[in-house]
Each structure stands twice: as structure tokens, then as C-alpha cells.
Amino acid sequence: MLDVSYNWDQVQVPQSLRDFEKRWSNRNHPIDFSGVWRFRELLPFAQDDQIITIGEGQTMLKASNPVAQYAGLNDDCLYLQYEGLNPSGSFKDNGMTAASTHAVMVGAKVAACASTGNTSASLAVYASVAQKFKVVVFVGSGKIAFGKLSQALDYGAKTVQIQGDFDDALARVREVCNQEGIYLCNSVNPFRLEGQKSIMFRVLESLNWEVPDWIVVPGGNLGNSSAFGKAFMELKELGLIDRIPRLAIINAQGANTLYQLYEQEGIRWNGGNYDRAASTDFFTQMDQENRRASTLASAIEINRPVNFSKSLRALDVCNGVVREVTDQQILDAKAQVGAGGLGCEPASAASVAGAKLLKSEGVIASSDRVVCILTGHQLKDPNATVAYHSATDEHMDEKLTSHGVNKAPFSNGPIVVENDLDKIIKVIRSF
Ligand SMILES: Cc1ncc(COP(=O)(O)O)c(C=O)c1O
């Protein structure tokens, strides 16, 4: 795994974090307008005129009391960082602006990624805006939500649907990139993680540069969590913050490799000397048994996270914990996030389900300030949303039940009424 490291002595980092904020008023300046490049001195690998941006990172942090109550936290203690507001509808744009910039810097003519959907949507939009390189995306068959697939197709990416899941697609795209000299845009690309650090810069900025107690993030390929750990490590090193929040990474139960390795096998970063033999044995056994990830939160349906080692570093830096949540917990939390004002896709709601779980365990206190990252927009996966809300006591969607979702306590299904004014009014009055 490659890591980007800077010689900070040679970077003119603003002395006050507020200097980044001031750039916000400069709305006509494309680089200041970006919620990633506004912080460019903290990811200083490109010149201003090399940056490819579409105004990503105009996202917001919002306290949500309904969601706080659901998770068992006090009012004003739970915040949602809404990364679904990005141009392609997910956090991936934070990383893809950085990877696309680097791709053009090194003269790439073709870029590629494997994707559970959001990475491909994001790469496709940057390629269509930059018009400097072509894109090939690899997706597993039947494994991608339609909202996401439609984006890749519409932005003109060549889409290769291979028989297999995300883990298969990623293994193949890495081979293809090596063999064909194609620029790889999965989060194994360290420049992507540089862009994703900015999610934490914006969280801190929104909290008036006060460090929260917890950051809770869904874990799939573990790029976000790795980037967040690096962001806090560097901010502390630069003297821009004086303490580091705790990090909770939340796996879906059906894709819980990190949970198993960190919480059950007890593997720790240990200054970089983590127990490689134990993790290699784990993955070898996984291959021998052909164990496949399976969750309705398709964005995190990943069993072989490429950023495993970097996430161990992040957990070390942030005194972190890892938890697993069921698809039932994820979809219930998702419905609460939606009803609380900011819709998200299933994977994102793992963060809220995880915060609730950690509160019930007493790991998170009810007065802790907790930031849950909503990684993707609600419209990415409407099938999951409609299936949950259409559930009744008599009928549950088969796809839900096959993933252990047997009830929908927060469903809000459509009410069927005859086309008759009196009957419609009767129904409305019954609300
Ligand atoms: C919506 C959403 N949430 C979470 C993740 C997982 O993020 P990471 O791979 O950085 O752990 C993804 C990755 O595809 C995603 O699309």
C-alpha cells in the first residue's frame, strides 16, 4: 500500500484554521469553491492550475434530534455529515477530484475502477467533465443499485459487468490496470484518500473547529476510515488540533472482515508491525471456503478490504472500535434518518445503527458529541427504500427476508384509495 506523505516544512499551511473558512466567500473562484480544495495546503500535491473540480464537498453537518433520540443520545449530541450532497450523490467525489487531478498530472489516457456503484458514478462524472481520459468501470453482476449503474452509463463510462461480486471485480481490475497501464481509481490509490481527508476538515469547520468525541463511519473497502485517521494524524502533527476524536467503524454483519480481525482476532496496528501472518491466514481460509459478502447495504458488501492495514493505523491514531450491525438494524436506522430529515442509502445508515449499538453498550455516553457520516444519497438505491416502506405484517419483500429483515417497524407505505373524493378525504382525516 502506498501512502502520500509531505514534507510539511516546505508547505505554507495557514496558521489559523479560520483562514480556510474565509475562502468560502470567494464563490467565483473554482478552487476555493470546492469543499476539498479550499483546504489545499492540507493535501498539497497539485498546482492550482492542475486541479480538476466540479464544486464537490459543498456538504453539510446537521444536528438531528430525532436521530439522536433514536440512538439514545441527548439532544444536540448527534450530528449527520451529509455527503450525499456531493455532485454524484456520494462521498466518493471528495476522493475522485483528487484522483482525477493526479491522473491528468501523470498523463493517464484511461482510468478504471471496480465498484459497488458509487465509485463508478463518481469516476464517470469526473472523466466526462475533464475530457482528458476515458473510463472503464467494472461491476459485479446483479450487485449494483440501479441509481448508481444509471449514472455510470449516462456519463459515458464503458461498463464491464463481470460474473462475480465486488471483491472479484477489484481483483480483476487491478490485474487489468497493471497489464494495460491503466490508471486505477479505487481507494487503493492513495491520492483518493487525500481528497477524502477533507470530509473531516469540513466536520471540524462546521463544529467551529471543536473536536467531537466520536466519528462513526460505515466500513467497506475502508478508504474513508483510513483517510480520516490520516487527516487527524496530520492535523495534530501540524498543531492545528490538540486532541483526536475516537473513531467507530461499522461493518455490515454479512461483510464483517474488519470486525472479525480487529475485535475478535485482536489484530492491532502495533507501529506498523501488525500480525500479518494472522490476517493472511484469515484471507486464505476465506478463499478456501469461498466465503462471500452478503448484505442489503450493497455499497459495503466487501469481504477483502484493500485498506485493511491503513484502517488499523487509523484505529490506532483514533483509539477506535469496530462493530457489526445486521441488515435489520441498518434498514431501521435508515428509515429514522429519512424521517429525521436527511435521506441516505442503506450503507450510510450503518453509521447511525452503529452509534445506537455503541450507546447501548455504554461505549458512547449519552452526552458525547457524535458525528455519523452519511456517505450516500437516498436516491442511490430506491429499491431498498421502497421494499422497506411497502412492508406489511402480512407481506415482506423476499429480498429483505433473505437478508434477515423480517419486520419494518418504521415503514411508511403508500395507502391505496379508490378514486373517490369522500374516501380520499376520509383517509386524509385519519392521519
Ligand atoms: C455509500 C457508501 N458508503 C460506504 C462505503 C464504504 O466506504 P469505504 O470503502 O471507504 O469503507 C461506500 C463504498 O463504496 C459507499 O458507496
Nearest CA to 164 out of 134, 139, 189 is that of 139
Q: Which residue has the cell 516546505?
A: 10
pLDDT exceeds 90 at position 295: yes
> Ligand 1, closest atom to CA 249?
11
Confidence of residue 389 (pLDDT cuts 50, 70, 90): very high
Rounded to whole angstroms, the Cα distance separating 127 from 155 reads: 8
- Asked if residue 222 lies in contact with residue 310, where contact means CB atoms within 8 angstroms, the answer is yes
| Range 396-405 average pLDDT | 96
Q: In angstroms, what is the span from residue 222 Cα to ligand 1's centroid?
A: 7
Q: Does 159 show up as a binding residue in the annotation? A: no
Query: Where is average pLDDT lowest: 12-26, 282-296, 358-372?
Result: 12-26
Distance (Å) from CA 162 to ligand 1 centroid: 20
Spatial distance between the Cα atoms of 277 and 370, rounded to a whole number of angstroms: 35
Q: What is the residue with the minimal CA distance to atom 13 of ligand 1? A: 299
Check residue 26 and give its pLDDT: 85
220 is an annotated ligand-binding site residue = yes
Query: Rounded to whole angstroms, how far apart are CA atoms 292 and 254?
Result: 8
Q: Give the CA angle between residues 99, 311, 167 to the nearest 5°.
A: 70
Query: Residue 16: its pLDDT value, please?
Result: 83
Tell me the average pLDDT across 186-211. 97
Q: Is 223 annotated as a binding residue?
A: yes
User: Is pLDDT at 280 greater than 80 in this prediction?
Assistant: yes
DSSP state of 90: B
Q: How far is the centre of ligand 1, averaged over its atoms, from the C-alpha of 300 (Å)?
A: 6
* Average pLDDT for 275-294: 95
Q: Pairing mode, if any, of strands 60-63 and 78-82?
A: antiparallel
- pLDDT tens across 75-108, in order? 999 999 999 999 999 999 999 999 999 999 999 9
* Atom 15 of ligand 1, nearest CA residue: 299
Domains and CATH numbers, the chain: 1-91+190-431 (3.40.50.1100)
Q: Cell for 13?
A: 499551511
Q: Are 101 and 40 in contact (CB under 8 A)?
A: no
**Angstrom distance (rounded) from CA 302 to CA 299:** 8
Over residues 337-346, the mean pLDDT reads 94
Ligand 1 atom closest to Cα of residue 347:
3
Residue 65 assigned ligand-binding role:
no
What is the percentage of the chain residues whose pLDDT exceeds 70? 100
- List pLDDT tens digits, range 28-86: 888 999 999 999 999 999 999 999 999 999 999 999 999 999 999 999 999 999 999 99
All cell numbers assigned to 289: 471456503
- Residue minimizing CA distance to atom 6 of ligand 1: 220
Q: What residue type is assigned to position 165 of the chain?
A: D
Mean pLDDT over each residue of the chain, to the nearest integer: 96
For residue 221, the CA-to-ligand 1 centroid distance in Å is 7
Question: Would you say 222 is a known binding-site residue?
Answer: yes
Quick one: pLDDT band at residue 15, thresholds 50, 70, 90? confident
Q: Which residue has the CA at smallest separation from atom 14 of ligand 1?
A: 299
What residues are in contact with ligand 1 under a 6 Å CB criterion?
A: 90, 116, 118-119, 187, 218-224, 299-300, 345, 347-348, 375-376
Predicted pLDDT at 27 = 80
Q: Note the pLDDT tens digit of each residue in 120-156.
A: 999 999 999 999 999 999 998 877 889 999 999 999 9
Q: Give the model's pLDDT for residue 214.
A: 99
Please check the confidence at residue 25 and state whether its pLDDT lies above 90.
Answer: no
Rounded to the nearest angstrom, the distance between the alpha carbon of 292 and the centre of ligand 1 is 17
Judged by DSSP in three states, 201 sits in: helix
Say yes or no to pLDDT of 315 above 80.
yes
What percentage of the chain reaches a pLDDT higher than 90? 93
Q: Residue 156, Cβ neighbours under 10 Å: how many? A: 13
User: Ligand 1 centroid vs 251 CA: distance in angstroms?
Assistant: 10
First vs last C-alpha separation in the chain: 56
Q: Average pLDDT in the 212-231 region?
A: 98
